[in-house]
Structure 1
Amino acid sequence: MKEEYAVRVENVTKVYKLYDKASDRLKDSLGLTRKKCYKEHYALNDISFKVKKGETLGIIGTNGSGKSTILKIITGVLNPTQGQVQIDGRISALLELGAGFNMEYTGIENVYLNGTMIGFSKEEIDEKMDAILDFADIGDFVNQPVKTYSSGMFVRLAFAVAINIDPEILIVDEALSVGDVFFQAKCYKKFDEFKEMGKTIIFVSHDLSSINRYCDRVVLLNKGVKLDEGEPKDMVDLYKKVLVGQREAEAKEKIINKQAGDEKDSIKLMDQISLNPDISEYGKKDAEIIDFGIIDDIGTIGSNIMKGSDFSIILKVRFNKKVENPIFAFTIRDLKGNEITGTNNMFENKILLSGEEGEVKKITFKQHMNLQGGEYLLSFGVTGFIGEDFVVYHRLYDACGITVISNQNTVGFYDMESEVTIV
């Protein structure tokens, strides 16, 4: 039996001409020069994939990998330089905040405008209006010009229109990151309903938990090239390696550019993760944190950890003076600043009697990740006691983030890993 596809992307390439000067662009457009006065930038280079009817396909990749470009080509917003796209079904797309909306029109008027552009009659839009307004839930603002809307209200209405006009293919590009958590939950519930109805969804997101949970298959792009496609977990693991590889290259470049001398160190763990640019630190630095990092269960350095897997937090401390009974600690907080969990070597009964001047110690905290999927902040500290006085040697608050990737969240901050039996 021949397989049915909703979307076929075949050898698609998108090339942009980059000009150094506006006059070069004008000369080229008018054919006034035979000399090539531009550089070619390949936003996409020979991309091919197919999306089965009823499938939810995720597209992931770093910024600039071509994710949004391929969606715009699929929806017809952009034309490819080479290749072709075949569509079998009516598309509804939510690409960019405000795309297809007239800022001077009211919310109601924009609903009719968008519905008409998709191909619905006024009567058909009237039938769907109550469902659209109930889903958007923005109250009397539907009668106000959308230029007065907050970004959250804007995306609620745009998504309500896109998802309630009964599309056969729904395309979403990062728009859900604007709505609040309750609206996102409503949207994902609608995703589940769409999947049960046999609808096709193409979903671009940096939220790897959502990609892992909702997608049947994932395409990984990097710098305009398709690296691979396959099961969500496999592609997320490969994506993490891509991120690490890029950071390793950046770190190596930094080392190469350093002057000769003591600065010729190996690549640090902290060079391979995303650091907080507003990191807060203090302490007398008799003991100093010189490196830290996160390593997942397959040995990848990075900030993305699968829920239910083992991982390690690494801390390297240099003693600038002799320190008796140092305490090494980490704390994980949520984005609101609430302390969720943490530990130190004293709690774990791993005592170091002293750190000698000039000595470097590596501390590894190995644990099982059972926090709910989401974003967290990681802090580090080296403290101790001199007599009865508590001393902070070095603290780094909110040094980096941890992203927990999950396809099954429970209530609260962490999962009790319940085993349920019904007889």
Structure 2
Amino acid sequence: MSVISVQDVKKVYKLYDKPLDRLKEAFHIRRKIYHTDHFALKGVSFEIKKGETLGLIGKNGSGKSTLLKIITGVLTPTSGAVHSTGRIAALLELGAGFNPEYTGIENIYLNGTMMGYSREEMETKVPAIMEFADIGQFIHQPVKTYSSGMFARLAFSVAINVDPDILIVDEALSVGDIFFQSKCYRKFEEFAEKGKTILFVSHDMGSIIKYCDRSIVLNEGELIAEGPSRDMVDLYKKIVSKNFLNEETEKFEQQTAADKNSFWKEKLGNLNSKYLDYGNKRAEIIDYALFDGTGAIMSTVSRSETFSLRMKVKFHDKIKEPIFAYTIKDVKGNDITGTNTMFEAIGTGTSADGSIYEISFEQALPLHNGEYLVSLGCTGYEDGEFQVYHRLYDLLILNIISDRATVGFFDAESKITVKRN
């Protein structure tokens, strides 16, 4: 039995170059068009069954939030239809549905009224909401004074404690601390056990794999595929690393593949625009990318999946025993791991002016779920003095997917045995 049915939904926005163009178009005698159409959704259709946890994944701008707003009735589709059965509780964006001038308590009753509950019915739910939100005396303060974390706590607490048939969550948990997120995910599991339906939107691919029975992938307003979550995450990885082919990109990709002089970096979707570039440039890093086990350029890898980090270095001088290196940092700037050819006792010989070296580091990283920054370097020693020929710091974004939770920086992949005597 389907509790949500989305049928050929399209959403078109009119885009104007100048605000005045909207007025000109409205009053033009010959109905001259001053706008261009932007298709946020292009005929999306799917169904969600009762008791199912469905993941919705896609890049920013793929149409996920627009689709959720249409499902919850916040937006009206340009064409198509959405049918739902049961009470829906939604966390579409931080503080949505809250009056900033009202206190937390007042907003609880306000949201209950919007859900169709009487004040008397909400009075029985308030204690559980307050306990789960755990924001202390701030519950009696105007929500405009709340931090983003307090907003998330109260909004999620209200949503799960009004006994919805369908829960929709759109990245709302990313602002909570790790303890709050853990508590929320436990609630997800409780909801699933009770036969509730969950529509979950997240860029956290590990959570998508762990919690969602199946997933759908949106890209540029189109539903690309639906199926088992792990398969859909693999497809998403191809999209974000620009290795996904559709009718519009296939010809370009074929041309690029046929061009022997094409650069890896031209296909990247994970370049950090604020990377640091320095060195004397007697040797220069001219190309770089991350590759999965099939040889495809990517930016996302599953925990402990073997991948390779490659770079090409062009030498503008004769250099003896250059050192090639990489480092991986977390988002806080902590060095997590890294190595170089000197540490690994790999001889690199003496370069000739104009020569190009291709270096590949192959490894598996048992790191936690999240984003990491990759740095590259070419250095060396001359007359005992350390030389930096070229360094690219915080160059690439590497997204690690893991459906396991452990403590610290990495997963030791412990094997646990419990015996009961």
| TM surpasses 0.5 | yes
2:90 paired residue among 87, 90, 93? 93
Deviation at 1:28, TM superposition (A): 5.7
Match of 2:278 among 270, 279, 282: 282
Q: Are 1:155 and 2:152 counterparts?
A: yes
Q: 2:185 aligns with which of 158, 164, 188?
A: 188
Alignment partner of 1:383 is 2:397:
no
User: Quick check: 55-64 or 29-38, which moved more?
Assistant: 29-38
Which moved further from structure 2: 343-352 or 86-95?
A: 343-352
The 1:270–1:140 alpha-carbon spacing in structure 2 relative to 1, beyond 3 Å, is farther
Structure 1 CA distance for aligned equivalents of residues 266 and 18 of structure 2: 39
Q: Distance in 2 between matches of 1:90 and 1:293?
A: 47
How far the C-alpha of 1:238 sits from its partner, in A, is 1.3
Q: Pick from 397, 400, 403: which aligns with 1:401?
A: 397
Question: Secondary structure at the residue paired with 1:324?
Answer: coil
Structure 1 distance, partners of 2:62, 2:243, is: 13
**1:31 Cα deviation (Å)?**
9.0
Q: 1:320 to 1:24 in 2, by over 3 A?
A: closer
Equivalent AA in structure 2 for residue 312 of structure 1: S
Give, in whole Å, the separation in 2 of the partners of 1:377 and 1:154.
Answer: 30
* Structure 1 contact 244–302 (Cα < 8 Å) conserved: yes
Q: Is the 1:270–1:292 contact (alpha carbons within 8 Å) kept by the matching residues of 2?
A: no
Rounded Cα–Cα distance in structure 2 between residues aligned with 1:226 and 1:92: 24
Measured against aligned partners, the alpha-carbon deviations of 1:227-284 in whole angstroms (never above 9, x if no partner) come to 111111211111222223389999x99xx9xxxxxxx951333651322222123222
SS in structure 2 at match of 1:97: coil
Counterpart in the other structure of 1:216 = 213
Inter-CA distance 384–35: structure 2 relative to 1 (3 Å threshold): closer
Further displaced range: 111-120 or 22-31: 22-31
1:41 to partner: Cα distance: 2.2
Secondary structure in 1 matching 2:208:
helix
Say whether the 8 Å CA contact 1:307–1:371 is kept in structure 2. yes
1:410: Cα distance to partner?
2.1
For the 8 Å contact 1:68–1:173, the answer to whether it is kept is yes
SS of residue in 1 equivalent to 2:311: strand
After TM superposition, where is structure 1 displaced by more than 6 Å over at least 4 residues in a row?
246-250
Query: Does the aligned pair in 1 maintain the 2:241–2:270 contact within 8 Å?
Result: no
1:263-274 map, 5 Å: 265-269=261-265, 271-274=267-270
Asked whether the equivalents of residues 12 and 82 of structure 1 are also in contact (C-alpha less than 8 Å), the reply is: yes
- Would you say 1:116 and 2:113 are equivalent positions? yes
The one-character-per-residue Cα deviations of 1:146-184 (angstroms, maximum 9, x if unpaired) are: 111122211221111112211110001111122222222
Q: How far apart, in 2, do the equivalents of 1:30 and 1:77 lie?
A: 29
In 1, are the aligned partners of 2:267 and 2:297 still within 8 Å (CA)? no
Does 2:165 correspond to 1:171? no
**Ranges in structure 2 where 5+ consecutive residues have no aligned partner:** none
Unaligned runs of 5+ in 1: 257-263
How large is the RMSD of aligned CA atoms in angstroms? 2.4
SS, match of residue 108 in structure 2: helix
* Per-residue deviation, 1:117: 0.4
Spell out the pairing of 1:326-341 with structure 2 (5 A cutoff).
326-341=322-337
1:238 to 232, 235, 238: 235
**Aligned AA for 1:222?**
N
CA displacement, residues 325-377 of structure 1 (integer Å, 9 cap, x when unaligned): 11111111112222111111222232112121111101001112211211111
Change in 2 beyond 3 A, CA 1:181/1:389: same
Q: Distance in 1 between matches of 2:30 and 2:213?
A: 50
* Inter-partner Cα distance in structure 2 for 1:378 and 1:19: 40
Does the aligned pair in 2 maintain the 1:270–1:293 contact within 8 Å? Answer: no
Alignment of 1:49 onto 2:42:
no
Among residues 10, 13, 32, which one is paired with 2:10 in the alignment? 13
Instruction: Give, in angstroms, the shift of residue 29 of structure 1.
Output: 5.5
Kept in 1, the 8 Å contact 2:62–2:219? The answer is: yes
Pick aligned residue for 1:105 from 97, 102, 105: 102
Q: What does residue 318 of structure 1 align with?
A: 314
The partner residue of 1:146 within 137, 143, 147 is 143
Q: Is the Cα–Cα contact under 8 Å of residues 242 and 267 in structure 2 kept in the other structure?
A: no
Asked if the contact 1:116/1:122 (under 8 Å) is kept, the reply is yes
Identity of aligned residues (%): 57
Give 1:61's aligned residue: 58
C-alpha displacement at 1:420, in angstroms?
3.4
SS of the equivalent of 1:413 reads: coil
Q: 1:303 aligns with which of 299, 305, 309?
A: 299
| CA shift for structure 1 position 69 | 1.0
- Give me the whole-angstrom Cα distance separating, in 1, the residues matched to 2:241 and 2:273: 19
> Of 356, 364, 369, which residue of structure 2 is paired with 1:360?
356
In the alignment, the residues of structure 1 paired with residue 244 and residue 225 of structure 2 have an alpha-carbon distance, to the nearest angstrom, of 20
Q: How many residues align?
A: 410
Paired residues of 1:92 and 1:171 also in contact (CA < 8 A): yes
Shift of 1:106: 0.7
